[in-house]
Amino acid sequence: MIPEIEELMLHWARQLGRVGDGGGLGSPMATIIEWGGSAPRGTPGPRLPGGGAGIDHIASEVSAALAQIERQSEKGALLVRLAHNRYRHAEPLTVQAQLALLQLPTSADRTYRNWVHRLHQQVQVILATRTVTARGGGRRSGAVETDLTRASMERRRQA
Protein backbone atom coordinates (compact mmCIF):
# COMPACT_ATOMS: atom_id res chain seq x y z
CA MET A 1 0.00 0.00 0.00
CA ILE A 2 1.22 3.49 -0.87
CA PRO A 3 0.19 5.87 1.96
CA GLU A 4 -0.07 8.99 -0.25
CA ILE A 5 -2.31 7.23 -2.75
CA GLU A 6 -4.37 5.76 0.11
CA GLU A 7 -5.01 9.31 1.30
CA LEU A 8 -6.01 10.40 -2.22
CA MET A 9 -8.37 7.45 -2.54
CA LEU A 10 -9.98 8.28 0.82
CA HIS A 11 -10.37 11.92 -0.31
CA TRP A 12 -11.96 10.72 -3.56
CA ALA A 13 -14.44 8.57 -1.62
CA ARG A 14 -15.30 11.44 0.75
CA GLN A 15 -15.93 13.78 -2.18
CA LEU A 16 -18.16 11.27 -3.97
CA GLY A 17 -19.98 10.55 -0.74
CA ARG A 18 -20.58 14.27 -0.25
CA VAL A 19 -21.76 15.25 -3.73
CA GLY A 20 -22.10 12.00 -5.69
CA ASP A 21 -20.75 11.11 -9.12
CA GLY A 22 -22.40 13.96 -10.99
CA GLY A 23 -21.91 17.64 -10.55
CA GLY A 24 -24.62 20.15 -11.02
CA LEU A 25 -26.43 22.74 -9.02
CA GLY A 26 -29.03 22.20 -6.35
CA SER A 27 -32.69 22.54 -7.10
CA PRO A 28 -34.41 25.92 -6.79
CA MET A 29 -36.76 24.45 -4.17
CA ALA A 30 -33.78 23.36 -2.04
CA THR A 31 -32.39 26.91 -2.27
CA ILE A 32 -35.71 28.37 -1.15
CA ILE A 33 -35.87 25.95 1.78
CA GLU A 34 -32.24 26.57 2.78
CA TRP A 35 -32.46 30.37 2.68
CA GLY A 36 -36.11 30.78 3.61
CA GLY A 37 -36.70 32.45 0.26
CA SER A 38 -34.44 33.63 -2.48
CA ALA A 39 -30.70 33.17 -1.86
CA PRO A 40 -28.75 36.38 -1.25
CA ARG A 41 -27.02 37.81 -4.30
CA GLY A 42 -23.99 39.98 -4.63
CA THR A 43 -22.60 39.06 -1.23
CA PRO A 44 -18.91 39.84 -0.69
CA GLY A 45 -16.39 37.09 -0.15
CA PRO A 46 -14.80 34.24 -2.09
CA ARG A 47 -16.81 32.29 -4.59
CA LEU A 48 -16.39 28.60 -5.25
CA PRO A 49 -16.17 27.64 -8.93
CA GLY A 50 -19.54 26.32 -10.01
CA GLY A 51 -21.05 27.37 -6.72
CA GLY A 52 -19.32 24.51 -4.93
CA ALA A 53 -21.16 21.91 -6.99
CA GLY A 54 -19.48 18.68 -7.93
CA ILE A 55 -16.28 17.04 -6.77
CA ASP A 56 -13.01 18.95 -6.51
CA HIS A 57 -10.16 18.74 -9.02
CA ILE A 58 -8.14 16.13 -7.12
CA ALA A 59 -11.10 13.78 -6.78
CA SER A 60 -11.97 14.22 -10.46
CA GLU A 61 -8.38 13.28 -11.41
CA VAL A 62 -8.63 10.13 -9.28
CA SER A 63 -11.98 9.33 -10.96
CA ALA A 64 -10.35 9.79 -14.38
CA ALA A 65 -7.47 7.52 -13.36
CA LEU A 66 -9.90 4.83 -12.20
CA ALA A 67 -11.86 5.11 -15.44
CA GLN A 68 -8.62 4.61 -17.40
CA ILE A 69 -7.72 1.57 -15.30
CA GLU A 70 -11.20 0.12 -15.83
CA ARG A 71 -10.88 0.44 -19.63
CA GLN A 72 -7.51 -1.35 -19.75
CA SER A 73 -8.60 -4.93 -19.10
CA GLU A 74 -10.84 -7.23 -17.13
CA LYS A 75 -8.32 -7.18 -14.30
CA GLY A 76 -8.41 -3.38 -14.40
CA ALA A 77 -12.19 -3.47 -14.06
CA LEU A 78 -11.75 -5.75 -11.05
CA LEU A 79 -9.26 -3.29 -9.51
CA VAL A 80 -11.81 -0.49 -9.90
CA ARG A 81 -14.44 -2.69 -8.27
CA LEU A 82 -11.96 -3.20 -5.43
CA ALA A 83 -11.59 0.59 -5.12
CA HIS A 84 -15.35 1.07 -4.87
CA ASN A 85 -15.70 -1.77 -2.34
CA ARG A 86 -12.76 -0.57 -0.25
CA TYR A 87 -13.38 3.17 -0.20
CA ARG A 88 -16.96 4.03 -1.16
CA HIS A 89 -19.02 2.21 1.49
CA ALA A 90 -20.47 4.27 4.35
CA GLU A 91 -19.57 1.50 6.76
CA PRO A 92 -16.12 0.10 5.97
CA LEU A 93 -16.29 -3.49 4.78
CA THR A 94 -14.09 -6.13 6.31
CA VAL A 95 -11.36 -7.64 4.14
CA GLN A 96 -13.31 -10.90 4.03
CA ALA A 97 -16.45 -9.10 2.81
CA GLN A 98 -14.45 -7.32 0.12
CA LEU A 99 -12.87 -10.60 -0.98
CA ALA A 100 -16.33 -12.16 -1.24
CA LEU A 101 -17.55 -9.25 -3.42
CA LEU A 102 -14.52 -9.76 -5.67
CA GLN A 103 -15.26 -13.50 -5.79
CA LEU A 104 -11.88 -14.39 -4.28
CA PRO A 105 -11.34 -16.94 -1.50
CA THR A 106 -11.84 -15.32 1.90
CA SER A 107 -8.51 -16.75 3.06
CA ALA A 108 -6.58 -14.75 0.43
CA ASP A 109 -5.58 -11.86 2.71
CA ARG A 110 -2.09 -11.56 1.18
CA THR A 111 -3.61 -11.57 -2.31
CA TYR A 112 -5.95 -8.77 -1.23
CA ARG A 113 -3.03 -6.66 0.02
CA ASN A 114 -1.21 -7.23 -3.27
CA TRP A 115 -4.30 -6.13 -5.22
CA VAL A 116 -4.60 -2.95 -3.14
CA HIS A 117 -0.92 -2.23 -3.75
CA ARG A 118 -1.36 -2.82 -7.50
CA LEU A 119 -4.36 -0.47 -7.54
CA HIS A 120 -2.30 2.19 -5.78
CA GLN A 121 0.61 1.72 -8.20
CA GLN A 122 -1.61 2.11 -11.25
CA VAL A 123 -3.37 5.18 -9.85
CA GLN A 124 0.00 6.72 -9.00
CA VAL A 125 1.40 6.15 -12.51
CA ILE A 126 -1.71 7.50 -14.21
CA LEU A 127 -1.85 10.58 -11.99
CA ALA A 128 1.84 11.27 -12.63
CA THR A 129 1.30 10.86 -16.37
CA ARG A 130 -1.75 13.13 -16.34
CA THR A 131 0.18 15.76 -14.38
CA VAL A 132 3.07 15.75 -16.84
CA THR A 133 0.66 15.83 -19.79
CA ALA A 134 -1.35 18.68 -18.24
CA ARG A 135 1.82 20.69 -17.71
CA GLY A 136 2.80 20.32 -21.34
CA GLY A 137 5.31 17.55 -20.91
CA GLY A 138 5.53 17.14 -24.68
CA ARG A 139 3.57 13.90 -24.93
CA ARG A 140 -0.06 13.61 -25.78
CA SER A 141 -2.34 11.47 -23.69
CA GLY A 142 -2.93 8.18 -25.46
CA ALA A 143 0.55 8.08 -26.98
CA VAL A 144 2.35 4.74 -26.74
CA GLU A 145 4.57 6.13 -23.97
CA THR A 146 1.56 7.12 -21.83
CA ASP A 147 -0.66 4.13 -22.57
CA LEU A 148 -0.15 2.01 -19.46
CA THR A 149 -1.19 -1.21 -21.12
CA ARG A 150 1.86 -0.97 -23.38
CA ALA A 151 4.26 1.25 -21.47
CA SER A 152 5.93 -1.53 -19.49
CA MET A 153 6.38 -3.67 -22.62
CA GLU A 154 7.95 -0.73 -24.50
CA ARG A 155 10.41 -0.15 -21.65
CA ARG A 156 11.34 -3.84 -21.60
CA ARG A 157 11.99 -3.84 -25.34
CA GLN A 158 14.19 -0.76 -25.08
CA ALA A 159 16.25 -2.24 -22.24
In a domain, 25, yes or no: no
Query: Alpha helix (H) ranges present in 20-147?
Result: 28-35, 57-72, 74-87, 95-101, 109-134
Dist. CA 111–CA 143, nearest whole Å: 32
In a domain, 38, yes or no: no
pLDDT at position 26: 60
As averages over each run of 10 residues, the pLDDT of the chain (159 residues) reads 94 85 62 72 55 76 95 93 90 88 85 93 94 67 50 57
In a domain, 129, yes or no: yes
Domain that residue 125 falls in: 3-18+53-158
In a domain, 112, yes or no: yes
In a domain, 99, yes or no: yes
* Furthest C-alpha separation in the chain: 67
Residue type at 85 in one-letter notation: N
Which of these, 126, 112, 42, lies nearest to 79 by C-alpha position?
112
pLDDT at position 2: 93
pLDDT at position 42: 64
Domain count across the chain: 1
In a domain, 43, yes or no: no
